[in-house]
Amino acid sequence: MRVRQLTTAAAALLLAAGLGGCSDDPAPVRPPGPAPAPADPTAGTGDVRPADRAAVRSGGTLRWAVDGLPTTFNVYQGAATADSALLAHALYPSLFRPDDHGRLVPDPDYLAGAESTPPGQQPQVVTYRLNPHAVWSDGTPLSAADLTAQRAALSGLDPAYQGGRPAGYDAIDSIAQGADPHEVRVTFRRPYAEWRSLFGPLYPAAETATPDAFNQALTGGGHLSAGPYTVSGYDAAAGRVSLSRNPLWWGDPPKTDRIDFLATPPEQRLDALDEDRLDIVPLTTAVDRAVPAPPTSSPAASGTPTAAAAPPAAAPEAATAALQRAESLHGVTVHRAVGASLTQLTLNAARAPLTDPALRLALSRAVDRRRIADAALTPLGLPGAPIGSHLLAGDQDGYRDNSAAAGPADADRLLDEAGWKRPAGGGPRTKDGKELSLTLLVPADSATAKRTADALTANLAESGVAVKTATAPTETFVQDHLAAGEYDLALFSWPAGTSPAGEQRPVYAKPRPDADGVLDHGTNYARSGTEEIDRLFDRAGAELDPGARLGLLQEADVRIWQLGHSVPLYQRPELVGVRAGVAGAGVWGYGWPRFQDVGWNA
């Protein structure tokens, strides 16, 4: 899911990214200074062994851990979660899917081809050739009616539809059948470069054609679908969703008879793996939030009265022990990779002393990104590769490190020039009698966040910046702190989407007054922005030439660095435990499983 709105789902995805738990190469604009180093080639977002379908037997059941039973499979509804998106990709079409470098390519199961009018030709018309064999579970072929209904639901033209408004649907002027029922022509009222991100997932017109239909939770059985699997069981009490082979599926036959998605809290997953109750298990949160084992004895055990003790907090030592246990489990392989999300240090420009752009730039240069990435990632067995772009991940097509745009690497000189001087006897820098002392907000109970905060605190102390860490629970981190502006520095992540012009723009858009005159920052939690950055995003979103579009995105990234908005640090870590004999499973990076290939080796 790629919806930018402050819903429960979006907040959970943001924090999961922070904790580790919804184009062609142009001649881009270079920042001043030497050419940047390329991304670390070992730091890929995916770790899935290619599945040889001939070696995967037909039959059997897979048991797959999820955080909770999805209350909807419609990823555009406010109640959707990352698990909603996972199951949706087994049940519904996506006309395009990301490759290993985040490029959207046609999925031949649903799309025989698609092309847009060339750059400069108006209006932009995209012609889709739907796979003529693709049908909904009642036998009805996919058609222009499905795209038309989804555009009506997501364009924002009718406020009765309650849900997200992904970028791009509001740019569509009309949708019509082409030369035959399998050809669909989409005409845009303005050029939209990231049109490949639309209609993924695609829902049947019956579920989206009216506000009443769209607003109902899409869950349980009895709904049309068009994936390799259909819902065969939904047991809320047992916390289980069962998917079985779609009898009308036209593509490569699914290898597994049934997939059971089982709601399993992170703290129970290692035990479930050890006891052979699960086969595919996301372990990032289980490791990251692992808590030390309780003591075997206490004063109360010897008869001494004591107050009720709070549960122990997560700690790096406990996370290390949890990872070692996962790696030692018999018959289990731990897949690991850096994920398709960028962990960043965000600077609150609305809170003194960070209202001064010169100070924000100096702090940006004071952060040793490689040191921070090393502290966060190497304990998990991943290379400590820093990230140097706000908009693209390290192995994403077109990535380049633009950090040199923030100015000279001499942070001490920049701090001096900003008026913050080191006292003769040492200690934090001062200006006008005030110490340079900042709070760093991090999610509570995260070993990765603690390692990052500890390294960052020590790093900035060397430049005379005092940093005190403050934690906030996951449930209140976004609404009560980021959205409220109650922090100086904050550590969290944004997904690195396949369509950065549309998806990332709200994160960096200049805050503007709302109807009541109150400054509305939206999801730009740094609260800094410029008209120029907004224009660059808008131009990139409308630029149909891939090289020119990427050049505009690179220029926008340069300006974000120069604004001192935030400091990209590293890509989030992801860990998945997979039982021996399971093929086609691991860390999927930008995309999602090819469910028809996942199964048991012969």
- Which CATH number fits the domain that encloses residue 560? 3.10.105.10
What is the per-residue pLDDT across 131-141, written as a single tens digit (0 to 9) for each? 999 999 999 99
Query: What pLDDT score does 27 carry?
Result: 25
Query: What pLDDT score does 166 carry?
Result: 87
Is residue 370 domain-resident? yes
Query: What pLDDT score does 24 carry?
Result: 28
Is residue 114 domain-resident? no
Cα separation, 170 vs 402, in Å, equals 32
Query: What pLDDT score does 295 carry?
Result: 60
What is the per-residue pLDDT across 372-394, written as a single tens digit (0 to 9) for each? 999 999 999 999 999 999 999 99
Query: What pLDDT score does 514 carry?
Result: 85
Query: What pLDDT score does 518 carry?
Result: 84
444 has a pLDDT exceeding 70: yes
Question: Which strand (E) or helix (H) includes residue 542?
Answer: helix 531-542
To which residue do tokens 């400590």 refer?
384
473 has a pLDDT exceeding 80: yes
What mean pLDDT is predicted for residues 529-533? 97
Q: pLDDT band for position 175 (50/70/90)?
A: very high
Residue type, 330: H
189 has a pLDDT exceeding 80: yes
1 has a pLDDT exceeding 60: no
What is the per-residue pLDDT across 308-359, written as a single tens digit (0 to 9) for each? 344 456 678 999 999 999 999 999 999 999 999 999 999 999 999 999 999 9
Query: What pLDDT score does 313 carry?
Result: 60
Query: What pLDDT score does 312 carry?
Result: 53
Task: Give per-residue burial for 549-580: e unless 16+ CB within 10 Å, then b.
Answer: bbbbbbbbbbbbbbbbbbbbbbbbbbbbbbbe
Our CA dihedral for 441, 447, 452, 453, rounded to 10 degrees, sits at 40
What is the per-residue pLDDT across 157-167, written as a single tens digit (0 to 9) for each? 999 999 888 88
Q: pLDDT band for position 515 (50/70/90)?
A: confident
Is residue 501 domain-resident? yes
Q: pLDDT band for position 11 (50/70/90)?
A: very low
Cα separation, 511 vs 584, in Å, equals 44
Phi, psi dihedral angles at 546 (to 5 degrees)? -60, -40
Number of structural domains (the chain) is 1
299, with CB counted inside 10 A (0-12, 13-18, 19+), is exposed
Task: Give per-residue burial for 317-348: e unless 16+ CB within 10 Å, then b.
Answer: ebbeebbebbeebeebbbbbbbbbbbbbbbbb
Residue type, 495: P
Percent of the chain with pLDDT over 70: 89
The mean-pLDDT minimum among 225-234, 236-245, 296-305 falls in 296-305
18 has a pLDDT exceeding 90: no
What mean pLDDT is predicted for residues 221-249? 95
Residue 558 sits in which domain range? 341-423+433-573
Here the tokens at position 249 are 């599926």
Is residue 151 domain-resident? no
Report in angstroms the alpha-carbon separations of 520 from 93, 374, 484, 527.
36, 36, 11, 9
Q: Which of the pair, 519 or 457, is modelled with greater confidence?
A: 457
33 has a pLDDT exceeding 50: no
Here the tokens at position 50 are 């290619």
439 has a pLDDT exceeding 90: yes
Cα separation, 169 vs 157, in Å, equals 10
Cα separation, 337 vs 380, in Å, equals 9
What mean pLDDT is predicted for residues 548-562? 98
21 has a pLDDT exceeding 70: no
Is residue 562 domain-resident? yes
Is residue 221 domain-resident? no
Query: What pLDDT score does 336 carry?
Result: 96
The mean-pLDDT minimum among 21-30, 90-99, 257-266, 443-452 falls in 21-30
What mean pLDDT is predicted for residues 421-445? 94
| Average pLDDT for the chain | 89
Is residue 468 domain-resident? yes
What mean pLDDT is predicted for residues 57-85? 96
3 has a pLDDT exceeding 90: no
Report in angstroms the alpha-carbon separations of 197 from 497, 501, 541.
10, 11, 12
Residue type, 288: D
Is residue 350 domain-resident? yes
In 212-364, DSSP assigns E strands to: 229-235, 240-245, 258-263, 280-282, 332-347
289 has a pLDDT exceeding 50: yes
